[in-house]
Every structure is written in structure tokens, then in C-alpha cells.
Chains A and B, each alone.
Chain A
Amino acid sequence: MTAPDPANAAPEAAVDTAPENPTETRVRAALDGLEVSFGAAQDAIVCVEFERELLHTVMERLRDSAGFETLTFVTCVDHLASTATEPRFEVVHQLISLAHGDRVRTRVRLTSDDATLASITDLWPGAGFMEREAYDMFGVRFEGHPNLKRLLMPEGYGHHPLRKDFPQQGIEPDRLYREWDRERRKDWNPKES
């Protein structure tokens, strides 16, 4: 038995000709009239991509019209290494419907010079920690978040560790401490530093 060669494999079938799955039909109906594109992933979860201005509307419609009651996670993926082009950040939201037993995932691309996105804490207060974590780790700012500050890293930490340009070995705490110490000393004695 030989494994199919990926180079000779048939190109991806057009989404329109593929048999519709019930989740996708429901999501399409809920998002009718919005500029979104559909895709699928290896795990067969329906993926929706759109511009960042639409995020809040899409989430609201998915919750109220498509029946996705609760939020599973909000996170971010940094594509710096693979694409090396902007927009490098991809913010991923995933919802689950308990009544229908399925999931949907949404993707929004953001550039690093303007990594801001609407917060959905007004729809699901549980998004609070999720968005704080994405802000802490990637520096994505969520507008309208009631308490957007670092979640896991200490306050005043100047970096976003899960970005691809943050070194794997980390930035040593003693170096950070020296930097903070130098800043602090400036106030006492401007001649130093």
C-alpha cells in the first residue's frame, strides 16, 4: 500500500460543491448579508473568516440566531515565522452549541501596528480572562474590555511572550530587574545611567 503523494493529490474541492453540513447551513443562515468566507480544518469544525469590524456582529448573531450558547476559548496565533508578512496575528474564537452538539471557529487577521479588536465581554462575561490572556501573551488590545490588564505575567512586564519574536529562552528576570532598577535610579540621580 502506498501513501497518497501530497504533490499529486487532487486540489481542494470547491466549498460550494461539497455536501453541506448542518452546522454550516445554520451558520450561513445566521450570518446572511455579512461578508464572511467559510473554510474547514482537519478537525471538521466549521471555520468563518471575516474582517475585524464584523467581529461583534458575527458573535452576537452566532449566539442569538445560530444557537451557540457558550464560548470555548479566545486565543491568538502569530504567523510571523511562516508568512513573514502582515497581517501576522490571527485571533481565533471558538463557540460551542450544547443544543446542537457542534462547534464553530472564527478567525480575524490583525496587523502588528494596529492589533486592536472589539471585546465580546458584553456578550459573554467569561471572555474576560480569555481576552486578558491574549493581550498578555500577544499584545492584542480588546476595546471595551472592562479590565484589560496582564493575566499571567507580572504587571509592568514589557514583553508579550508568545509572540514569535520573543526569544524561546525568555528574557531573564534579573536583566528585567536591572532595567527596572536603572529606571528607578534615574529619578534619584539623573547623572547616572
Chain B
Amino acid sequence: MATKTFEYAPGPNLAALNDDPLHGEIMQLSMGPQHPATHGVLRLEVELDGETIRRLEPEVGFLHRGKEKTCESLGWAKFFPHTDRLDYVQPLMNNIGYALALEKLAGIEVPQRGQEIRVLLMEISRIAAHLIYLGTTAIDLGAVSMFFNTFKEREKIYEILDAYTGHRMNNTYVRIGGVFADVDEELEAHLRSFLEGFRGEVDTFEKFLTGNRIWYDRNRDVGTITKDEALAWALTGPNLRGSGVEHDLRKAQPYSGYEDYEFEVPVGTVGDCYDRYLVRVEEMRQSTAIALQALERLKASRGGEVLAEDRRYVLPPKAKVHTSMEELIFQFKIVTDLSLPRGEAYQGIESSKGELGFFVVSDGTSRPVRCHIRAPGLYNVQAIPLVAEGRLFSDMVAIIGSLDFVMGEVDR
């Protein structure tokens, strides 16, 4: 048998090069901004040595629409539809994060039933967002049928949201002080049947992937992030938990009554792509459990208010707007010229990508001074070079998929 000889000694980080016949040829590659594997308009400047990534620099901003500036010009109330377009696979989650920040600033208490509906919507959104992660990552790694399986389930969620909010995407359904309308019994029944069936579907996804040799080899020990690195690089959410840090804002700093729900926080051990995959799959199961608990609570609180009664900040019910002069005036006043108290507030929520935060500053007038959006996806993009440098180019596709970001939120 002929033995292989190597012309080049492997460099410090380039142990994987031994089999690479192209080693030594440096190539500059511009990947994106229109590349299917970059999950949106992300450009990666890659310097390749054969198949190995020597240097990588992400370039963002191709989808920058100036959301923060838009908030300053539109005012607090009219910015709600724009929050949908941040992380556009989970619009309701963004709505709720923004509403919670404004409620904190104004000191508004959301009624019990309003909070329960919010929890339900957030968990449904989380499932939908994780399904996108699973489908797109799997199709990038060659498992095309997974994409159809996950999108079939996601389609069911969108049909339910369509029936409830009137839109499949970009729902804009949350208001300051609660949600726009109540959940009726028929919708509850649809949700329940979906959620009960979804448990089995998650098991099917796992049957496809978890023990799959190709999936395992492409993900295990790829893109390993240690605990300390994850903290230093400001990673949050499943990316942080995949590295073994048990931190979930729903447990650590509960909002919307999450302290009353029973659920577990899945944590990884190694911090590679495979761990992050396992964490997200388990989160789908936990989200299903939380949503079912929320449905139970909704059964008990039927008939309760879903929107707070505070005519300084909260929109009046639509039925009253059509019949009462005062309510019409309040409606007009709040939509055109809502002013919040002077001060600043920050609210972070556990979105599917990590900590989604809104930092709002008001000077007491109807013009916002600042609305900073702490988008978790931006820091997930920032971590790509950390794990991709020194790895093979094909690993980068797995890494991009497993870090999970949406460019609408990254670029704002």
C-alpha cells in the first residue's frame, strides 16, 4: 500500500489540513449576501487555505431599515407593526417584548388573562421559530425531507395564528396593557389538538436526526463554544445553554407570570452544534408543555379582561370606540400622540434566539428619545469567527445554522 507524504507541516491551528491537497493556496472568498446557506442577507468574507478557514469576517447591515430611528419619528404606539419585522419568524414575541418595556416605563399592570394569552403566544412563536431553525439547518446539511416535515407543522401554527390574529405573519396583535382580543373556545380546541399532536412530531424529528450517523458526524464537536467563551461573547438563549450555562430569563427574571408555570431548562454539556440542536429540540417539548398549561389556565379564567383599563396609555375596546365619544377621543389621542412618563426602562425576554431586549428612554413627551433593541441574533453572528476559524469550510454551514439568527433582527 502506498503511503501518503505531506509537503507542508501542519500549522498551529490547522491540524485538519493533513489530507487537504489544496493546502498552501490562500483564497479569498466572498460568501453572500445572496447565498442560501447564510440564512438571509449576510456576507462573510472568508480567507481559505485549501478547505480550511484561516480568517472569517461577517459583514452585516444589508437589511438595515433604521428601525430605531423610525421609532423616534413615529412615536411609541405606532412602532408596534415595525417590531414584527425584526425577527420575522416570531413577530408576536417581538411585540410582547416591546409592550413589556413600555408597560414597565408607564407602570401598567396587565390583567391575568392577558398575561396567560401572552405566554401562550410566546410559546407558540418559540415553537415556530425553532421549527425554522431545524428545517433550514437540516436542509443545509443535506436532510431535505426534514425541511418539509418541519414546515408542515409550522404551517399548522400559521393557520391557527391566521384564525386568531387575521395574519399569518406580522401579526401586530399585542397592545400596551394586554392583547387586542380574547381567545375563544373554538380556537382553544384547535390549539389543544395541535399541541397534543405536536409532541409526537418532535419525536419523529428526533428519529430522523438524533441517531442519524450523518447528522451526528456533521454536528458533534463542530463549533464548540466553552462556557467562558459564551459569556465573554455575550451569547444568550439556546447558544448559551448549549454550552452548559443554566440561564433562562423565564426562570431567572420572570415576566408575564412565567414563575407560575412548570417547565425545565435543558442544558448542553459540550457546547457544540449537536448540543445546541438537542437543547432546541427539548425546548420545543417544554414550550408545548407551557402552552398546554396556559390553555388550562385560560379555561379557568374565561371571561376575564385581556386589556388593562388605563385610558392614559391603553387603547379602549374597539366596540366602544364606535359608540362613545370619549373612547373615540382616547383612541385618537393614544394612536397619534401617546406620551409615556419621563425616565428609562429595560426589559429583556427569552426569545427563541436569546435575550431580546428593549431599552426605552422617554422625556415625557410623545417623541421617544431612544428605543434601543438588543437583538440576540447580532451577537450570534459575531460569534461565527470564534468557532469557524480553523475549521473546514463545510463545517461553517453547520455552525451558521446552529447559531440561529434572523437578519431582520440583526440589521434592524
Contacts and interface: CB of A to CB of B under 8 A. Distances in A.
Interface of A: 41-43, 45, 69-73, 75, 77-79, 81-82, 92, 94, 96, 98, 101, 103, 105, 124-130, 133, 137, 150-154, 161-162, 166, 168, 170
Contacts, number: 101
A41 B232 contact: no
B69 A70 contact: no
A154 B104 contact: no
A69 B240 CA distance: 13
Contacts of A96: 348
Interface residues of B: mostly helix, strand, loop or mixed? mixed
10 contacts: A42-B107, A70-B232, A79-B369, A82-B363, A94-B346, A126-B233, A126-B234, A129-B381, A153-B61, A161-B69
Interface stretch (B1-9, B86-94, B371-379): B371-379
B357 interface: yes
B233 A43 contact: no
Contacts of B378: 129, 133
Given A41-B344, A41-B345, A42-B107, A72 B357 contact: yes
Contact of B69 (A77, A79, A129, A168): A168
Contacts of A43: 104-105, 344-347
Contacts of A73: 357, 359, 372, 374
Contacts of A71: 234
Contacts of A75: 359, 370, 372
A163 to B, nearest CB: 10
Contact of B72 (A101, A128, A168): A168
A98 B249 CA distance: 9
B367 interface: yes
Contacts of B348: 72, 96
B68 to A, nearest CB: 6
Contact of B374 (A69, A72, A150): A72
Given A73-B372, A161-B66, A41 B343 contact: yes
A162 B68 contact: yes
Contact of A77 (B370, B383, B386): B370
A162 B357 CA distance: 18
Nearest to B227: A69
Chain B interface size, under 10 / 10 to 19 / 20 to 34 / 35 or more: 35 or more
A127 B355 CA distance: 15
A70 B361 CA distance: 23
Given A42-B107, A125-B233, A72 B355 contact: yes
Contacts of B235: 126
A10 B379 CA distance: 43
Contacts of B355: 72
Given A70-B234, A72-B355, A77-B369, A129 B379 contact: yes
Interface in B213-267: 231-235, 245, 247, 252-253
Contacts of B367: 81
B232 A124 contact: yes
Contacts of A101: 252-253
A98 B345 CA distance: 20
B411 interface: yes
A98 B363 contact: no
A81 B361 CA distance: 13
Nearest to A41: B344
Interface in B285-328: none
Contact of B232 (A92, A125, A130, A170): A125
B197 interface: no
Nearest to A169: B73
A154 B61 contact: yes
A65 B233 CA distance: 20
Contacts of B35: none
Contacts of B361: 77
B357 A128 contact: no
A19 B234 CA distance: 32
B234 A72 contact: yes
